[in-house]
Amino acid sequence: MNLSFDSFEHHFSNDNYTIEEVKTISVFEPKRWSETYGKALTKNIIEAKILHTSTGLTLPLKRYSVSQKKQVLEIAGLYSYNEKSKLKREFIKENSQELQQCFLNRIDICIDMEKPPQRMFRKLNSKRGAKPNKNTNYWKTKSEKKSNTRMDIKLYNKALKEKLNYPLFRLEFCFKKPYIGDMKLYQMDKDLFLKMEKTIYKFSGLKVEIQAL
């Protein structure tokens, strides 16, 4: 889940947090970003900082060129297969009051399965074209390039990524701001969940139930 706000930094100005500057007007340390997140800073990120918590989390704080007045807090992997997922959910609960007025910038809904059913592939392929890349299969429209402005769909081997000793695949729907609309965290409700559930069923044929954190 990604949240956007004018600035998050005043929320975390206490002893439980420190903010490390990686890319600002006076600082540029791209290696720190690569060391922390395993990927390079993209050109569209005009400001990058790392929020360090007392529990050991490192959360990205970014500003993008397309919306320079908004800072984005990225909280990825809320339901994964490691201890950090639990810590991230606790982080949201502990800062719930401060985050309620933030806008929802992106929501990823993930469906894990031991063996993806063939009917799911047939449904996905009927809606979008499959584009494999390394460990991940992306489903894209004919007109899009790197990503879709409203929704991305991908499937990857979660067991390989998490180094698990049992088979596990993850189908991921990434719902972006144009899909979500101008909605704040406190406004996230069953209507949005129902909308996403219907979209997932439409594209994959899978029936899911999305619940609040």
pTM here is 0.90
Check pLDDT > 80 for residue 145. Answer: no
- Which residue among 51, 83, 99 closes a domain? 99
pLDDT digits (tens, 9 = 90+) for 104-139: 999 999 999 999 999 999 999 999 999 998 889 999
Question: Does one domain contain both 33 and 86?
Answer: yes
Asked whether residue 69 falls in the same domain as residue 35, the answer is: yes
| 94 and 173, same domain (yes or no) | no
Percent of all residues in the chain with a pLDDT value above 90, rounded to a whole number: 82
Our count of domains for the chain comes to 2
Q: pLDDT band at residue 196, thresholds of 50, 70 and 90?
A: very high
- In the prediction, which pLDDT does 213 show? 74
In a domain, 209, yes or no: no
Claim to verify: residue 86 and residue 119 sit in the same structural domain: no
Of 53, 71, 99, the residue at which a domain comes to its end is: 99
- Residue 80's pLDDT is 78
21-28 long-range Cβ contacts below 8 angstroms, 24+ apart: 21/49, 22/48, 22/49, 22/50, 23/47, 23/48, 23/49, 24/49
Q: Which domain holds residue 186?
A: 107-202
